[in-house]
Amino acid sequence: MRVLVVEDEVSYLAFLEELCLDEGYEVLKADNGTEALEILSRQKVDIIISDLMVPGVGGVELLYKLREHKVPIITISGLSREVVISELLKELGIVSVLQKPFDSQVLIRAIQEETTGQD
């Protein structure tokens, strides 16, 4: 399974990459929204893990553009407005929202739940 991780915080990007690699996933990384969209224009991914607030194309605009690729998206955020973000993201079709910091097994479970049955 190929995972695209979009995260501008170097430590979180490294954490997410290691976590996914440990699970046997192939990892593509982008530290901003523009780079993520460039990667998606060249390569197919099975799931996207994206911070909400990244440089370049970010926030809801990034989520709209990511959705065009018809793959599940897990968003991560350090923002505290859980309910508002959760409801907005549900409207966008986002499958999961994880607030940083989060337990690594919660992320793995979300990946597995959202990609079960994909091929």
pLDDT by residue for the chain (119 residues), tens only, comes to 999 999 999 999 999 999 999 999 999 999 999 999 999 999 999 999 998 778 888 777 888 888 888 999 998 877 666 665 666 767 677 777 787 898 999 999 989 988 886 65
pLDDT at 119: 58
Q: 6, 54 in Cβ contact below 8 A?
A: yes
pLDDT at 66: 87
Domain extents in the chain: 2-110
pLDDT at 95: 76
Burial status of residue 53 (CB atoms within 10 A of its CB: 0-12, 13-18, 19 or more): middle
Q: What are the angstrom distances between the C-alpha of 33 and each of 23, 57, 63, 115, 116? A: 25, 5, 9, 22, 26
Q: Does CATH place domain 2-110 in 3.40.50.2300?
A: yes
pLDDT at 96: 79
pLDDT at 45: 97
Residues with Cβ within 8 Å of residue 17, at least 6 apart in sequence? 5, 27, 29
Q: What is the rounded distance in angstroms from the CA atom of residue 75 to the CA atom of residue 95?
A: 8
pLDDT at 12: 93
